[in-house]
Structure 1
Amino acid sequence: MIHADEIARKKGQQYMGECANDVSFVDFVDHLTDSILDGKCVNSHFSPSHEHCLPCALNVKYVGKFETLKEDTIFLTQNLSIHLDVKDFERDATKD
């Protein structure tokens, strides 16, 4: 997690807030790249996929993507004979 006090310290400033909501995008990217280059723990959202997703270790038969989630879901449920009662896919998909 990014700590605003750490970013302020790197810039020679004193941290005055309670949360990192006042960190600029540039400061965020600088902190993230510094953390990666320093070998510090980085949130999995910003780490390379191959570090936490091991596709070669799985027997994958289907690969879907978010952009075609509805079509992929329909395809899979039909081909696997799974009944899925979804009245409003777009609305229900945003809940999950």
Structure 2
Amino acid sequence: MKKLATLMIIAIALAIIGCQPQQQQNVVTREQLDAVKAEISALKSQVANLQTALDSLTANYNAHLDKYHKSMPKPPTGGGTGGGLKPPTQK
């Protein structure tokens, strides 16, 4: 009889817990959605500004390379002795 009463109490407890309505935790309000859209728009404009700045810096860097570093003499290519000289031989 005690087992039957225990099973009945457990069944009633599970039925009460299972029949409760679900709580809506992931509800997004219209204000939150509008705030996120505004933030996305602001970030897109910042990305566009950064892209423009990056393009300008790249152009300036390439102009600097062409002006100051393009006409540098090439390093000598030798056998590793510094000037293309042959290593001394023993007599």
TM-score by length of 2: 0.18
TM-score by length of 1: 0.18
Higher helix share: 2
Which structure has more relative contact order (CA 8 Å, sep 6+)? It is 1
